[in-house]
Structure 1
């Protein structure tokens, strides 16, 4: 029985040993088969990746290093105006860079230039007379005291004769006074007689003084009264000379040789235009910002590129009921003589200043269809840009929007560019406000 159990145990052990060996071989075969499949998949994946890389290399060209492309601040280039260099030189095209700068705050009002009443003179005779000779013409620069015209007047002749008679009478009375004084000292004449002599002398002095003043009132000078020849022209008898009362320019002449004149005749007008007055009206809302001594800057149509300066010396005390404005007067320097009384002006009253303002020259700003435009230099030519402006200074205008610091804009030749754009059909509303 024991032997039988031992034999069965040996058989079972052999069976188990054979089964384990078979299972190991089968597992090894499966492992080898799985490894082969993994290898094939890896090869396929490698080939697929290689093909994709090859295809990608064919479709995408090789990229090279390039400098960054500069993009202009103005993106609207579809309406670029192309011009040739010769044409630009022909129209005198000039450009300038837009910069940030300080700018003055001003109030802009219309104004009118007038003559300074203290520097304006009308020359008229004070008697009926006829003109013998004329020494100055319209437009002549004269100095105070220069001879203008020579007249002949019977009235002057009568007054001059009266003056000469009074002077002779005074000389006689002076001589008589000396003689009577000596007799009085020797007690030859009485005190009453000597007092009568003194009285006669005083009356002669009064008569001479009165005759002298009447001649001076007509324009006769002190030198002429004592017989001094003035400017190589002798004044005697009925001759009357008229002289320039101020220095300035003769702006009007109504005198001709042989002409009969009277007290109502204006023979000459003289204006000293080195300093003119400027009248302007300030609205009531701006009155609190106006002060005596503030600077004014004016421009006139005749000289649009020039600025003339002055200072306020008068502010009105009453409000004009129809316009609700107050009158101011400034004295304007005009040493070059370009300004003339009667000219209308654009007046800027400087009330303060503003720092770091983007500004463009006034000459660069054009108006079109109630819009303000400039021409900006862009790649390939020039483009139109609509701008909004703010405060206006001497030569510059504040740019609120439409331009950037560093933009190159046209300041001369922009009118020709505008005409060219209209001829070539560029959209007049091209451009945009930033």
Structure 2
């Protein structure tokens, strides 16, 4: 505009007819302005063409950074996270390869632990008499044939020994030296090397339960596997009892304990499955994090049937794909944290 102002000064009329001079100068100025506007517009168009197109005709814009789409947090996209192998190992991220699985269909039942009648013995004196000595007390462990007490018979006045009929632990004692035996129980001995789970099976479940089925009993001490030994009616109750014998050699199970059990009612193979703990919900969709080098990318899945440990994959994942099978929630948390920081 400075050049145009100079031109306007140069053309300022010095004649005695100023009106004609001014009119001529104004017309020349308008023509110059139009020419300058056209020139600037054409130069701007050429500049935009230079910015938007390269030699091979591809479009570009001023926001391209040449970083393959990664944001300031190192994420390839909003649903991925980059974690180097050392850090992944430290935080406990474990991967597995997706593949075929045999799924186990189960129903949940509840019940109690009891001692079997064959595991509890109540010991009495064979002949009434005087208790001369007692060898055991409550809590003692005995074997079959161990001496429990010595009794002097009232009839023969001879001393005979009372022996344990089973191996187990003394849980009751009602005998002391100097006492006279009556018909009462002197000792109760229980063997807890095995216990029984009596599981309640209601009418809607009864058609699915049979003897011999595999069962997983869940207790406060862990998971115990066994099989249904008997299915019997329960007296005066609308349910049946599935009786399951459980190994208790470590003495971790106690009669009276309430337990939950998963009763297996069917098995079926699936061509592709992922661990149940691996599945996360992100953006309203269920999926897993697939590993590509150090990049963990959320992959939505179409899931089918499942059991306690696996989900069947209908669509969304290739066989043998490496996915995060344990602690996938850590990657989800990292992505959500990065998104929250980006929003602020």
Q: CA deviation at 1:331?
A: 3.1
Alignment partners' CA distance in 1, 2:176 and 2:302: 63
Rounded Cα–Cα distance in structure 1 between residues aligned with 2:184 and 2:149: 17
Question: In structure 2, how many angstroms separate the alpha carbons of the residues matched to 1:258 and 1:373?
Answer: 72
**1:427 deviation in Å?**
7.7
Deviation digits for residues 130-165 of structure 1 (CA, Å, limit 9, x no counterpart):
68443477373x432223x325x5xx442332xxxx
Residue 302 of structure 1 is matched in structure 2 by 221
- Provide closer, same or farther for how the CA distance between residues 95 and 332 of structure 1 changes in structure 2, counting only shifts above 3 A: same
CA displacement 1:70-106 (0-9 Å, x = unmatched): xxxxxx9524455554554445443322322222333
Q: What secondary structure does 1:159 align onto?
A: coil
Shift of 1:288: 2.1
**Which deviations, in whole Å up to 9, do the C-alpha atoms of 1:233-256 show, x marking residues without a partner?**
xxx54xx64432223x42736589
Match of residue 245, structure 1, among 165, 174, 182: 165
TM score, norm. by length of structure 1: 0.47
**CA deviation string 1:25-52 (max 9, x = no partner):** xxxxxxxxxxxxxxxxxxxxxxxxxxxx
* Contact 2:279–2:288 (Cα < 8 Å) also in 1: no
Identify, as 1 or 2, the structure richer in helix.
1
Look up the match of 1:118: 118
- 8 Å contact kept, 1:372–1:388: no
The alignment partner of 1:58 has SS state of coil
| Stretches of structure 2 lacking an aligned partner (at least 5 in a row) | 1-52, 59-67, 69-75
Residues 287, 244 of structure 1: alpha-carbon distance in 2 compared, 3 angstrom cutoff: same
Instruction: Report SS of the residue matched to 2:212.
Output: coil
- Aligned residues of 1:317 and 1:326 also touching (Cα < 8 A): yes
**1:291 Cα shift?**
2.5
The question of 1:348 aligning with 2:267 is answered no
1:289 alignment partner, SS class: coil
C-alpha distance in structure 2 between counterparts of 1:411 and 1:118, whole Å = 46
Structure with larger Rg: 1
* Structure 1 residues 271 and 339: alpha-carbon distance in aligned structure 2, compared to 1, 3 A threshold: same
How many pairs were matched up?
267
2:203 pairs with 256, 264, 284, which one?
Answer: 284
Q: Does 1:326 align with 2:240?
A: yes
Distance 1:331 1:89, change over 3 A: same
Cα distance in 2 for partners of 1:353, 1:334 equals: 28
Q: Deviations over 1:219-266 (max 9, x none)?
A: xxxxxxxxxxxxxxxxx54xx64432223x427365897697976666
Q: 1:299-340 CA distances to partner (integer Å, 9 max, x unpaired)?
A: 333124xx411233223277835xxx3332233455665544
Q: Cα distance 1:408–1:114, how it changes in 2: closer, same or farther (>3 A)?
A: farther
SS in 1 for 2:242: strand
Unaligned runs of 5+ in 1: 1-55, 62-68, 70-75, 162-235, 429-434
RMSD: 4.8
- CA 1:139/1:150 → structure 2, altered by over 3 Å: closer, same or farther? closer
Work out whether 1:58 is the aligned partner of 2:55. Answer: yes
Matches within 5 A, 1:165-180: none
> Residues 241 and 298 of structure 1: is their aligned pair in 2 closer, same or farther, counting only changes over 3 Å?
same
**How far apart, in 2, do the equivalents of 1:59 and 1:157 lie?**
116
2:228 counterpart (311, 317, 340): 311
Relative distance call for 1:314 and 1:129 in structure 2 (3 A) is: farther
Taking structure 1 as reference, are residues 99 and 121 closer, same or farther at Cα in structure 2, changes over 3 Å only? Answer: farther
- Residue number among 140, 147, 155 corresponding to 1:159 in the alignment: 155
- Between the aligned partners of 1:346 and 1:389, the Cα distance in structure 2 is 25
Shift of 1:280: 1.3
Change (3 A) 1:267 1:282: same
Q: Is the 8 A contact 2:193 2:250 kept in 1?
A: no
2:169·2:189 contact (CA, 8 Å) conserved in 1? Answer: yes
- The answer as to 2:221 corresponding to 1:293 is no
Distance 1:389 1:129 in 2: 73
TM-score, with normalisation over the residues of structure 2?
0.57
SS of the aligned residue for 1:425 comes to: helix
Q: Which has the higher contact order (CA 8 A, sep 6+)?
A: 1
Match of 1:172 in 2: none
Provide the C-alpha distance between the structure 1 equivalents of 2:170 and 2:314, rounded to a whole number of angstroms: 48
- SS of the residue corresponding to residue 421 of structure 1 reads helix
